[in-house]
Amino acid sequence: MRTVGLRSKDLLGIEPLTPDEITLILDTAEGFKEVSERPVKKVPTLRGQLVINLFMEASTRTRVSFEIAEKRLSADTLSFSASGSAVEKGETLIDTAENLMAMHPDMIVIRHKYPGAPKMLADRLPASIINAGDGAHEHPTQALLDAFTIRERLGRLKGVNVSIIGDITHSRVVRSNIHLLTKMEANVTVAAPPTLIPAEIEKMGVRVVHSLNEALEEADVIMMLRIQLERQGRLSFPSLREYHNTFGLTPERLSRAREGALVMHPGPMNRGVEIASDVADGPRSVILEQVTNGVAVRMAVLYLLAGGNLADS
């Protein structure tokens, strides 16, 4: 029988989800994508529900995307960041969260620099907790919007060859994507210098290569990751120049990939480092579609965690 709801009150990561749950979220998002294309982009689904966006780490895209998704579902929303809050006075995360909980939010969306922070909240609070990125651990809605984009463009996830290129060690996006894509039976390759590949990642069911050309061969989807500029000089690679020369995606290199290969990037991009502007803005790029789809996917997640099901959406 088809899954009609999510089992957990929280979305802490892709790892705990079943393939059916992933399909449910993606199918539900299809319906919500249409809402964003109407002249009046709003449905009353979450009317009367309070969603708090607790962003303890900088974010533009994800935060705005969640806020828009919440507003299009008619939820009351409130966004909150570490700077200018009691966190700067030394309040602990748990105290902050318990104080917010005392005001009865139905859901809390949390972005935090440390892995496991959303789970800390989920274990202690009755509200639904949505992980909007925790350190290098998971960023589930990013992986869902990536999968939505791939499925919409290529018509399937099963058997699709996805190559993820960049700073694999420090990326939560890559971990969530590996969980999702392997559960959906896509083939995942990760590519980077060995200094940016974490220990034993092949046990997550991926192929590891250290050559961009090798990663591009056979790829249906090329997912570029941001090189975290602040890591330069931390012994992971000699220079941005050398990184660009060895792993940067240029039009010339892209020409070796399959004709219909999609180019994706979770943002924010470092143009001229991991990706050349001609590629980022070129015909194979679906980078802005990813952003558009992010709203629909987050609407689906909010809706399903609020107890909605596919039949009613």
Partner 1 sequence: MPTVDVLSGMRLLIRGGRVVDPSQGLDDRKDVLIEEGLVTKVASSIKPPSGIETLDAAGMVVSPGFIDLHTHLREPGQEHKETIRSGTLAAVAGGFTAVCAMANTVPPNDERAVTEMIIAESQRNGACRVYPIGAVSRGLRGEELAEMADLSTGGCVAFSDDGKPVINAQLMRRALEYAGMLGRPVVAHEQDLNLTEGAAMHEGYYSTLLGLRGMPAAAEEMMVARDVVIAELTGGHLHIAHLSTRGAVEAVRRAKQKGLRVTCEVAPHHFALTDEAVQSFSTNLKMNPPLRSEEHRAALLEALADGTIDAIATDHAPHHFDEKNVEFDLAPFGITGLETAFAVSYDRLVHSKIVGISRLIELLSVAPARIFSLPGGTLAGGSPGDVTIFDPDGETSVEHFVSKASNSPFTGSTFRGRIIATVVGGAIRYDGRTTGGNRASEDVPSNSAHKRRSKS
> From the CB of 40, what's the least distance to partner 1, in Å?
40
99 lies in the site for partner 1, by CB under 8 A: no
First to last CA, the chain: 18
199 lies in the site for partner 1, by CB under 8 A: yes
Cis peptide before 193 (omega within 30 of 0): no
Encoded amino acid at 37, one letter: E
**What span, in angstroms and rounded, lies between the C-alpha atoms of 117 and 139?**
12
4 lies in the site for partner 1, by CB under 8 A: no
Is-contact 260 253, C-beta < 8 A?
A: no
Which of 63, 172 has the CB closer to partner 1?
Answer: 172
Give the H/E segment covering residue 34.
Answer: helix 19-35
Contact flags string 143-182 toward partner 1, x per CB under 8 A = -----------------------------x--x-------
Is-contact 170 199, C-beta < 8 A?
A: no
According to CB under 8 A, which one of 198, 267, 272, 282 is a site residue for partner 1?
Answer: 198
According to CB under 8 A, which one of 4, 154, 204, 291 is a site residue for partner 1?
Answer: 204
Which of 58, 288 has the CB closer to partner 1?
Answer: 58
Q: How many residues bind partner 1 (CB under 8 A)?
A: 24
> From the CB of 150, what's the least distance to partner 1, in Å?
23
43 lies in the site for partner 1, by CB under 8 A: no
Helix (H, G, I), strand (E, B) or coil at 84: coil
**What span, in angstroms and rounded, lies between the C-alpha atoms of 35 and 295?**
10
Helix (H, G, I), strand (E, B) or coil at 12: coil
What's the chain's Rg over C-alpha atoms?
19
Which of 73, 168 has the CB closer to partner 1?
Answer: 168
- Footprint of partner 1 on this chain (CB under 8 A)? 15, 92-94, 112, 114-117, 119-120, 134-138, 172, 175, 198-201, 203-204
